[in-house]
Structure 1
Amino acid sequence: MSRIQPRLMRTEDAAEYCGGLSVSSFMKDVAPHCRKLNPSGRRVAWDRRDLDAWIDWLAGLQPQPSGEAEPQPERVNPLDALL
């Protein structure tokens, strides 16, 4: 029987997922870069995709995650400069 990997994790599980960090290290080093979710209204959960983004940043595979969507720059048509 296969085990389903949850997308949302409790803090303890998220710390373990990020390399066996202590909860205090997770909260100091990882949590500021991830969105804190509250699916049940009481318990905090962490999205596995945010954790993966942090791990990818740590490995140098992508820019540092911010925990929030980056504002997109306004798109400019270069031909407008000719007018």
Structure 2
Amino acid sequence: MGLPRRFWLVILSISIILSLAAAYEIIEWMAAIIAGRTTKDCLGTQGDIWDSQWDMSLSFAGSLIAYGLLFRFHDHQLERLR
């Protein structure tokens, strides 16, 4: 059960989190386009043209922090299943 190597656990977990964050940013952009806003307006809807990059980088940082805090718990749970 589970992923046999910690490396793949980290890569897959971070990839899934970043994929979901990117999907949210794309949906946010599509909603702005449907609402009739230009791309320039879409970038600054929160008052920051780097909002999407901040969101993605904070998702990445959060996934690393969560992994750092929870990897022992994950390993312990896997040992209980064996």
TM over 0.5: no
Higher helix share: 2
Higher strand share: 1
Which one has more relative contact order, counting CA pairs under 8 Å at least 6 apart?
Answer: 2
Query: TM-score under structure 1 normalisation?
Result: 0.26
Query: TM-score under structure 2 normalisation?
Result: 0.26
